[in-house]
């Protein structure tokens, strides 16, 4: 495993982070990753040198199950060996019934949620605490002051921001600066080789303000592994894939992950993989790891130990500037823009 300093923080993390969104998650009454498999995945990640775990209060059914699975696993290990990130924003007990203060980034909800997160993870502190989304109805000053208190109390070490608009991230950073609050050091956008909508401006902010970037869904939910085939040249959302895969069980898979640009990018990822003697998943992850304008640590969401083992192989791949740039070009094939090239 390779390790890297996480942006401007003093944290050293593995080049890949383990994602736990599917831990305890139920689809059609079936648990996607049960406790036993979750613990096998954590073991396999640890054995391969991954020291960075990403979770959220919201993951699992009931919510909090993912944090509980991780906490049970950590109980038998040295907490200090791991960098653990969690998140707050979404309703925890339901879908935001009015009058319950059960969602968003207000002081009351954030303070309640951090206690639950610490309890389930069985730890005194979270290494990185992300705001999962932007809260339109709470002044960012209230959120930042609350997060500042958590840092002062030692419950949180570093702050992170997940998906939001570039102007929102900028406003939060500016407010921290002006008010002298602890600032976001890590960003967690949706970013992968087949995607570019909205994210360019956001990444420009991260580059300028020296934030580390931990992209989620780095394989576009599995699309960039090459296991899906296009079945209609006129419709980029028509596809076939293996039974039981995410594409098979999620209604919104095509909306989320499939686009004309995505298929172009996948063709290039496949071609580069062939040249490198690697798999498309490894090349797609390596393309993120080798971003040279910001520290980039993709959050891998493997469902099985075999998938995880394949994905960790990304650390043994190396892309030439030409291979890296060809994947950038494929993402911008439609309009010929140039952004993100290495050479």
Ligand X SMILES: NC(=O)c1ccc[n+]([C@@H]2O[C@H](COP(=O)([O-])OP(=O)(O)OC[C@H]3O[C@@H](n4cnc5c(N)ncnc54)[C@H](OP(=O)(O)O)[C@@H]3O)[C@@H](O)[C@H]2O)c1
Residues between 71 and 110 with contacts to ligand X, criterion CB under 6 A: none
Rounded Cα gap, residues 185 and 163, in angstroms: 14
- Rg for the chain (alpha carbons), in Å? 19
Q: Which residues of 297-317 are buried (b: 16+ CB within 10 A; e: fewer)?
A: bbbbbbbebebbebbbbbbeb
User: Binding segment for ligand X among 36-44, 269-277, 299-307, 324-332 (CB under 6 A)?
Assistant: 299-307
Beta carbons within 8 Å of 29's beta carbon, 6+ residues apart = none
Q: Helix, strand or coil for residue 274? A: helix
Rounded Cα gap, residues 47 and 14, in angstroms: 12
Q: Is 59 a catalytic residue?
A: yes
Q: Does 226 bind ligand X (CB under 6 A)?
A: no
Using alpha carbons, select from 237, 240, 242 the residue that is nearest to residue 254: 237
User: Binding segment for ligand X among 37-45, 93-101, 147-155, 297-305 (CB under 6 A)?
Assistant: 297-305
User: Binding segment for ligand X among 14-22, 104-112, 266-274, 333-341 (CB under 6 A)?
Assistant: 14-22
User: Binding segment for ligand X among 101-109, 216-224, 260-268, 325-333 (CB under 6 A)?
Assistant: 216-224
Phi and psi at 326, nearest 5°, equal -65, -35
Shortest CB 283 distance to ligand X, Å: 12
Q: Does 342 bind ligand X (CB under 6 A)?
A: no
Using alpha carbons, select from 18, 25, 103 the residue that is nearest to residue 59: 25
Shortest CB 239 distance to ligand X, Å: 12
Rounded Cα gap, residues 61 and 224, in angstroms: 27
Virtual CA dihedral for 290, 87, 182, 216, nearest 10 degrees?
A: 20
Shortest CB 187 distance to ligand X, Å: 10
Candidate residues 302, 319, 327, 328; the one interacting with ligand X per rule CB under 6 A: 302
Candidate residues 7, 221, 262, 340; the one interacting with ligand X per rule CB under 6 A: 221
Interface map 265-284 toward ligand X (x if CB under 6 A): ----------------x---
Element containing residue 214 per DSSP (H, E): none
Residues between 152 and 171 with contacts to ligand X, criterion CB under 6 A: 162-163
Q: Does 259 bind ligand X (CB under 6 A)?
A: no
Q: Does 65 bind ligand X (CB under 6 A)?
A: no
By CB under 6 A, name the binding residues for ligand X.
Answer: 19-22, 54, 132, 162-163, 188, 216-222, 225, 227, 245-246, 281, 299-303, 307, 310-311
Catalytic center residues: 59
């Amino acid at each position: 495993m390779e390790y890297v300093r996480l942006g401007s923080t003093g944290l050293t993390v593995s080049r890949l982070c383990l994602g736990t969104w599917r831990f305890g998650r139920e689809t059609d009454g079936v648990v996607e990753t049960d406790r036993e498999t979750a613990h096998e995945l954590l073991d396999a990640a640890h054995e391969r040198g991954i020291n960075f775990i990403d979770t959220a209060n919201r993951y699992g059914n009931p919510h909090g199950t993912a944090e509980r699975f991780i906490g049970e696993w950590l109980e038998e290990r040295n907490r200090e060996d791991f960098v653990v990130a969690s998140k707050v924003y979404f309703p925890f007990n339901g879908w935001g019934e009015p009058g319950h203060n059960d969602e968003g980034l207000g002081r009351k909800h954030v303070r309640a949620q951090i206690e639950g997160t610490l309890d389930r993870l069985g730890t005194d502190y979270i290494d990185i605490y992300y705001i999962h989304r932007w809260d339109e109805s709470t002044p960012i000053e209230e959120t930042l002051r609350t997060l500042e208190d958590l840092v002062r109390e030692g419950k949180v070490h570093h702050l992170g921001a997940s998906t939001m608009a570039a102007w929102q991230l900028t406003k939060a950073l500016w407010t921290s600066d002006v008010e002298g609050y602890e600032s976001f050091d890590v960003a967690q956008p949706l970013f992968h080789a087949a995607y570019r909508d909205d994210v360019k401006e956001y990444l420009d902010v991260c580059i300028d303000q020296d934030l580390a970037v931990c992209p989620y869904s780095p394989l576009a939910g599995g699309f960039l592994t090459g296991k899906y085939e296009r079945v209609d040249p006129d419709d980029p959302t028509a596809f076939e894939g293996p039974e039981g895969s995410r594409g098979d069980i999620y209604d919104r898979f095509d909306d989320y992950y499939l686009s004309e640009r995505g298929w172009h990018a996948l063709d290039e990822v496949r071609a580069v993989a062939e040249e490198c003697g690697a798999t498309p998943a490894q090349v797609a992850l390596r393309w993120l790891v080798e971003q040279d304008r910001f520290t980039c640590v993709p959050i891998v969401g493997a469902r099985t130990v075999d998938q995880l083992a394949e994905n960790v192989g990304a650390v043994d791949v190396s892309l030439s500037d030409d291979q890296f740039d060809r994947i950038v070009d494929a993402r911008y094939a439609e309009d010929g823009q140039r952004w993100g090239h290495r050479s």
